[in-house]
Amino acid sequence: MIRTYLIAGFYQSYANRGSATNAIDSPSLIHALSPQTLLLGTDSSALHLYDLRALGPKARPKPQQTHHPHDDYLSSLTPLPPTSESTSGFSKQWVSTGGTTVAVTDLRRGVMVRSEDQEEELLSSVMVTGLRKKGTSVGEKVLVGGGNGVLTLWERGVWDDQDERIVVDKSPGGGESLDSLALFPDGVGPGGKVVAVGLGNGTLRFVQVGKNQVIGELFHDELEKEGVVGLGFDCTGRMISGGGKTVKVWSEKGPEAFDEDEAEDDVAADAAAGSKRALGSDSEEDSAEEMEESSEEEKPTQKRKKRKKGKARQQKGHGILGFSGLS
């Protein structure tokens, strides 16, 4: 991990060494394709491949290969799952977006194909596999987020042009940009294939692939409305969003969610019981009356609590809007 960041930093001094303009070709993205192979994209549309085994304390960060899959800077990179014939189990091909095109590059063969000009800026991408035949999308798709609020679907192996479109944002004057994408892990969300989309106005929206429709919405940043440029899930299923000056971790509420009304009832009952203990009773008769009154008051409260707990248990599954933001 440390060497990964060193490459990104040292590359700036290496990229244009000897160049007449002496300009810096800044890194735009970095991705670990395998334990040995690192991909580094730059603002000049260069895509460099590094072999980490060739690096050492005195090694110069010179790439083993360099490709130019786009005419503009690389905005996203998504590895394609290895085929059944793969012996290593690691990806050898990947989809990238840059400017207004989608491209596929192979580790050994270089740039294989570039799409037609989509006439819109392409900013993000994610791979979705295992799509069933029940929906409009089947097989394996690469989802690409555009600068006009539209999510395009690309069938694996057919890279000339997009296959389907999903309108995520319909803001007047053109939709908000779709800056980041992340696929829900198995067991998280309402089931099926759901993709989280980070928008340029700080909104998070959730798209069900297959039905090809937006099924939910949250807000990463309601005040400053900074774009959600980073989006992902950790190993426990929590969603992590980043944008502006804020990083948020979103946990999914389970069926036994915390009930604020029930908590208030408990606090009130504890306070009443404490007051009675402090005042005491003047006689056995008063104590008996208080016990009868207390039992009568507790009965409806217990029934009310029982109904609320039963209601909580009925909230089965993982609701898409069940995420609660944690700072």
Domain ranges in the chain are 120-252, 260-317
Domain 120-252 listed as CATH 2.130.10.10? yes
With a cut of 60, say whether residue 126 has pLDDT above it: yes
Query: Which residues, other chains included, contact 273 with Cβ-Cβ below 8 Å and sequence gap of 6+?
Result: 294
Pairing between strand 27-32 and 239-243? unpaired
Query: Which tens digits make up the pLDDT trace of 16-55?
Result: 444 445 678 888 899 998 888 899 998 888 999 998 887 7
With a cut of 50, say whether residue 304 has pLDDT above it: no
In sign, the C-alpha dihedral spanning 218, 224, 227, 233 is: negative
How distant is the alpha carbon of residue 253 from its chain centre? 17
- Pick from 156, 172, 15: which is nearest to 82 by CA? 156
For 128-165, b where at least 16 C-beta lie within 10 A, e where not — what string? beebeeeeebeebbbbbbbbbbbbbbbebeebeebeee
Long-range contacts at 79-83 (CB < 8 A, ≥ 24 apart): 79/31, 79/33, 79/127, 80/104, 80/127, 80/156, 81/127, 81/129, 81/140
User: Is the whole-model pTM more than 0.85?
Assistant: no
With a cut of 90, say whether residue 203 has pLDDT above it: yes
Q: How far apart are CA 4 and CA 34, in angstroms?
A: 12
